[in-house]
Amino acid sequence: MSTLSLISVIVPCYNQAQYLDECLQSVLDQTYQNWECIIVNDGSPDHTEDVAKKWAEKDLRFKYLYKENGGLSSARNAGLALSSGEWIQFLDCDDKIATDKFEYASNYFDSKDLIISNYQLFDEEKLLEDYCYFIDEELSFRNMLFNWDEKYTIPIHCAIFRKSLISDSFDENLKAKEDFIFWLHFIQNNPRYIITDNRQAFYRMHEKSMTKDHNYMLENETKAHQYIISHFRSEHLNEFICLILEKKKNTILKLQDSNMHLSIQNLKFKNSRYYTFKTRLITLISRMK
């Protein structure tokens, strides 16, 4: 039996079977051999199960789990619960990784708790421009809290995490921005880390990506802020609250300006995502005053 550290790869899947072969092939092609890959089918209505079972039959290191639909966070948590590795690699089923990602990371397993690579965007046809988040500032709780989505935009499959430092699972109430919260929890544990400029993660761009739904992302950003205020204890929270209050007020004003032509009595407007989002923001602001 290999004495190399075991890496557990967690692949949540929902209704994207067309990408799963390419994703899992990038795991199978790893030059570092001691890994397991847990494929979590989150109640997909497409042929995800057929594809996943094919891979589980091809190589016993692939393990298949079906669960009722609960969202991305729920699927990742299910994979974490089944994982046996000392290291965790999250990999969404529409993305992929470079063949030497695990081998390169293993050079730091004795000295680090978190190994982060750079990444590159790609679509159905080609690799796109480099997307470099490389930063000079310390990877600290405060820096990440105030600069997420700006200086810190790190797809989660860029990282390999030491499992023993994962103290909190993904918040299953969040349908987006769950990575932000997970990163904050992990960074609070003061991991020894390294950030490399090697492009070892590939992030797929496609029209069905939820990141293209601006209102949806804003709604979940508000939920993430509520979570941070409720669950984290930090000397920086008061400053953070003041910052997001200002941002939210500005967002409301912009949304109001762009929707002045809509009547407040219009039932379609009241049922819209904008109306729901605006109401949640006002509630959040009133609670934090």
Instruction: List Cβ neighbours of 218 (8 Å cut-off, separation of 6 or more).
Output: 251, 277
pLDDT band at 248 (very low <50, low <70, confident <90, very high): low
Query: What was the pLDDT predicted at 144?
Result: 85
Tens digits of residue pLDDT in 13-45: 999 999 999 999 999 999 999 999 999 999 999
pLDDT exceeds 90 at position 78: yes
Q: Which of 101-110, 173-182, 272-281 is the least confident region? A: 272-281
Average of per-residue pLDDT across 127-147: 72
What are the respective helix, strand and coil percentages of the chain, to the nearest 5? Answer: 45, 20, 35
Q: What percent of the chain has pLDDT over 70?
A: 74
Q: Provide the 3-class DSSP secondary structure of residue 3.
A: coil
The verdict on domain 7-209 having CATH code 3.40.50.300 is no
Mean pLDDT of the 133-154 span = 77
Residue 47: is its pLDDT beyond 70?
A: yes
**82, pLDDT greater than 70:** yes
Distance CA 286, CA 284 (A): 6
pLDDT band for position 145 (50/70/90)?
A: confident
Q: Is the pLDDT of residue 268 over 70?
A: no
Element (H, E) at 62: strand 62-67
Number of H helices, E strands in the chain: 10, 9
Residue 277: pLDDT band by 50, 70, 90 thresholds? Answer: low
Cα separation, 213 vs 208, whole angstroms: 9
pLDDT at 249: 54
CA distances 49 to 46, 60, 64, 71, 259, Å, are 8, 16, 8, 17, 43
Q: At what angle do helices 48-58 and 17-28 cross, to 10 degrees?
A: 20
Average per-residue pLDDT for the chain: 83
pLDDT in the model for residue 85? 98
Residue 173 clears pLDDT 60, i.e. is over it: yes
pLDDT of residue 227: 83
Mean pLDDT on 73-81: 97
pLDDT (mean) for 181-206: 92
